[in-house]
Amino acid sequence: MTTFLGVPLRRKPEPELRHPNPLRGSESFPQAARHELANTQLRANLAHATSVIRAKRAEVVNEVPDWEALRDAGSAIKADVMVRLPELLEQLEEKVTARGGVVHWARDADEANKIVIELIRATGQTEVIKVKSMATQEIGLNEALEDVGIAAFETDLAELIVQLGHDRPSHILVPAIHRNRAEIREIFLREMGDAPPGLTDEPRALAMAARAHLRRKFLQSKVAISGANFAIADTGTLAVVESEGNGRMCLTLPETLITVMGIEKLLPTWQDLEVFMQLLPRSSTGERMNPYTSMWTGVTPGDGPQEFHLILLDNGRTRALADTVGRAALHCIRCSACLNVCPVYERTGGHAYGSVYPGPIGAVLTPQLTGTTGHGDPNASLPYASTLCGACYEVCPVKIDIPSLLVMLRARMVDEDRGRRIPDGWSAAMKAASWIMSDAGRFAAAEKLTGVGRLVAGKKGRISSLPFPASKWTAARDLPSPPAETFRTWWARERGES
């Protein structure tokens, strides 16, 4: 015998955070999307940028006769990595250590940040330069460094635009995709300090302003922080794929290099690069090959940083790994092709997802990394941020079946809510529908009411607003006008009473 106390379960209030959580927004996807959709400039910028990159990708992918074979290999290699993750990580650690690198392990963001801070403090520096890295964004490294008085300078052009604009990234590959050239010019003139006064909004002029701005920093900095695109277990080699040369600057010129990498970024063998160096550039920037890729193995005496630290980050990855279906999200190589083809991302942009991982892959990765705490958790709304059209699956270079993962996660979110004491509108409506539909008489009576719907729909043939609680449905979609005749009345008329 249980007692129903009638006290609604409330989520524990989030602790007051100094900085926003990089993996969880403050409101649900539909709420956040509503604000973002109101920004017509943002929508215009995104529509332009995503259509450009889609066309570029399609062109260079069509050039490759064995693209599907490469995808099959890429998918299997990543699946193999997951199965053998412990031995491969130990092998990587052994190889990096043998070549003079130091390997650290971090259970979560906080632990990773503390390791980075201690390593920087040991050098006596208070400034570091950074290569664009999703892992360091995911752990909120820049903010953690700022809190202890260490200034981190982003050197990727788009990251620089985001950092100078006191903004948040909105795309995995092009974090400033939501900004157009005129906005970027304004940010540079206002925040850069040394922007040329006659700066135009010509992309070339803007790129040159960034070059001049960062040049001294590159030549003087003693410590750099990077992520990694790939880590080769059997050789201990790390790879960073980039375009501008800021990555090479950070990976080559400073004395100390600190690389933060998710534990899933491994490739088993050197040979596997032949697959991924074809898949990644064409999928991400739509180039046959990105302008620069740097590969290094530990420390090379006399060439590049003489001190190298590698931090292997869990931060929720093992949570995702425990799910047979969900763990495929860890195969992601962060190319962002799925963002660029997603009809939802194209309209809402990346900020609506509340996580540094937006778009289709973000919708399956973020809730698995953080776990979800039920209905009120913004991340529980992410698996619904999709029409399940499947375009993401088609372009994914490692064939992550994102639509299936979304459906699996939706089921999980519903299951998590089953224990709730107070039913929400959705489950109340479902219960009511179940009661009506389980009895022929009740169902026939309900059918009679559809005539009212026809009146509401009127000549336009659809219902676009209904009073509460049905407004919850019509706020986001039109309801088609009910038919003039139900199937059962049609049957009775045509075939007589059965």
Partner 1 sequence: MTASRSSGAREHVLARIRGALSQSGTDPVEIPREYRTSGPWKPGAPDTIELLVERLVDYKAIVHRAADAGGLITAITESLGAPTTLADGAAPAVVVPVGLDAGWVEAVRAAGFEVLTDSRTDPVPLDRLDTVVAVVTAARVAIADTGTIVLDGADDQGRRAITLVPDHHICVVRADQVVGTVPEGVALLAADRPQTWISGPSATSDIELSRVEGVHGPRTLEVIIAGPAAE
Can residue 395 be called a binding residue for partner 1 (CB under 8 A)?
A: no
DSSP letter string, 261-318: EETT-EES-GGGHHHHHHHHHHHHTS-SS-SEEEEEES-BTTBS-SEEEEEEE-TTHH
Residue 142 engages partner 1 in binding (rule: CB under 8 A): no
For residue 435, count CB atoms less than 10 angstroms from its CB and return exposed for 0-12, middle for 13-18, buried for 19 or more: exposed
Binding positions for partner 1, 201-230, rule CB under 8 A = 203-204, 206-208, 210-211, 214-215, 218-219
Q: Which is nearer to partner 1, 133 or 155 (CB)?
A: 155
Query: Is there a contact between 267 and 273 (Cβ–Cβ < 8 Å)?
Result: yes
Instruction: Identify which of residues 25 and 254 has a Cβ nearer to partner 1 in the complex.
Output: 254
Please, what is the minimum distance in Å from the beta carbon of residue 184 to partner 1? Answer: 6
| Alpha helix stretches (DSSP H) within 303-357 | 317-321, 337-341, 343-348
Pick the closer one to partner 1 by CB: 222 or 410: 222
| Positions in 1-30 near partner 1 (CB under 8 A) | none
Long-range contacts of 320-328 (CB under 8 A, 24+ apart): 320/365, 320/368, 320/369, 321/82, 321/85, 321/264, 323/368, 323/408, 325/404, 325/405, 325/408, 326/364, 326/368, 326/405, 326/408, 326/409, 327/82, 328/79, 328/400, 328/401, 328/405
Binds partner 1 by CB under 8 A, chosen from 39, 168, 292, 443 = 292
Q: Is 253 in the site for partner 1 (CB under 8 A)?
A: yes
Nearest approach, Cβ of 270 to partner 1 (angstroms)?
Answer: 5
Size of the site for partner 1 (CB under 8 A): 103
| Interface of this chain with partner 1, residues 347 to 386, rule: CB under 8 A | none
* Closer to partner 1 by Cβ: residue 280 or 392: 280
Nearest to partner 1 of 258, 463 (CB atom): 258
Number of Cβ atoms within 10 Å of the Cβ of 395: 23
156 is a contact residue toward partner 1 (CB under 8 A): yes
Query: Nearest distance from residue 256's CB to partner 1, in Å?
Result: 14
For residue 176, state whether it binds partner 1 (rule: CB under 8 A): yes
Work out how close the CB of 164 gets to partner 1 at its nearest, in angstroms, rounded to a whole number: 13
Nearer to partner 1, 142 or 243 (CB): 243
C-alpha distance across the termini of the chain, in Å: 47
Binding of residue 304 to partner 1 (CB under 8 A) = yes
168: contact with partner 1 by CB under 8 A: no
Q: Is 297 in the site for partner 1 (CB under 8 A)?
A: yes
Strand, helix or coil at 233? coil
Is residue 273 near partner 1 by the rule CB under 8 A? yes
Q: Contact 272/214 with Cβ under 8 angstroms?
A: no
Cis check for the bond before 469: say yes or no (omega within 30 of 0).
yes
- Name the segment binding partner 1 (CB under 8 A); options: 48-56, 134-142, 454-462, 482-490: 48-56
